[in-house]
Structure 1
Amino acid sequence: MGRVISFEERAVATLRDRLGAAESANEDLIAFARGHSGATAAIHRAVLALMEAGSPEELFAVVTDEWPLILGLDHVSLALVADGLGFRVQQGANETVERRLIDRAIAQIDPVTMRTVERGHSLFGRVATSIRSEALILLPADAPLPYGILLLGQRVKAGLDARHGAQLLGFLGASLGAMLRRCLDDL
């Protein structure tokens, strides 16, 4: 007579392993969704704050003073070229910078560039040495409107979700560009 082999024990162990892997993947997906949802909500709050700005000065104050708090960042700067001159707008200071520096930076980055760094981009100015994660977002515009880069920085190296993060930051940059054009058209 033949002997019956029981596969039950091995099958149950395999199913338990698969169930554990599925639960782990599900927890990772839920954590990602919560983080993405939080980032999306923060971007929306930042754009709403921007929409309340009635002048370029108010717009710059929202970006440099309020956005770091809303977005959970350490530093936000704007590097703009207007009327052929380069400017850096950051918390508590508006400074001139070489237009070539801004134009060169624009030529070297994608529409949204997210990266960890040992030192932030020089357009961050005096705080560049403390920046370890940065997002550089192009702000294109047709002449005679200003164009430039939105710079977002953190002091800690952060894991960056390039695909979804780039979409959100692209929206943030497009919103900033539209609001800047609106403020300048109203002058």
Structure 2
Amino acid sequence: MANIKPKLAQQLVTASVLRRVATAMLPFYRKIAGNRSFAADWTRAIVSADLDLIGRLLSSIPTLAGVENYGTNGIGYFISFPFPQPVIFYTNGTTIPPGMVQFTFNTQAHRSIALSVIPLYRELSVNNSFARSFAAAIRRKDNGAVTAMVRSLVKADSLKSVTIEQNGVALLFKTRFSKYPYRNLLFQEMM
């Protein structure tokens, strides 16, 4: 039984999981960064916790049109992708850390973060070698390697830290557009 846990942990985040999520999310981040109106509508949906509007906005992006697992906490959003066991769901999102504020989400901060993370999601999407190395570093809990890989692509001064969490990664941003920090997250949901 002791040998099962390490083997299971190795299967939780793989290049395939990261590539699938990044490929689906990349057009979303491009649209947030490049389309002020879409980004403002997205913020309105988040702050008002309007899941119908979130669904309509997601359906306008071909890679996310069929996504059924999404949600908001009024300070951010999460989009989850189903996978076979043991992963079950791998999630991406951007949120203000809980407990700081309620029903607040800044469009300009989100657009800035989206623009900043596009190179990371593009690299995960198109470069299998990078995705394999990134997944391996997460599995090893090698925060130094993960941070170096992220910072090689995410050049924004607003990126304050990179941490490994829940078989994934959390990027903490502090932009000039908001007094609140934001976290861009890739993680495995724990059931």
Task: Give the structure-2-normalised TM-score.
Answer: 0.29
Larger gyration radius, structure 1 or structure 2: 1
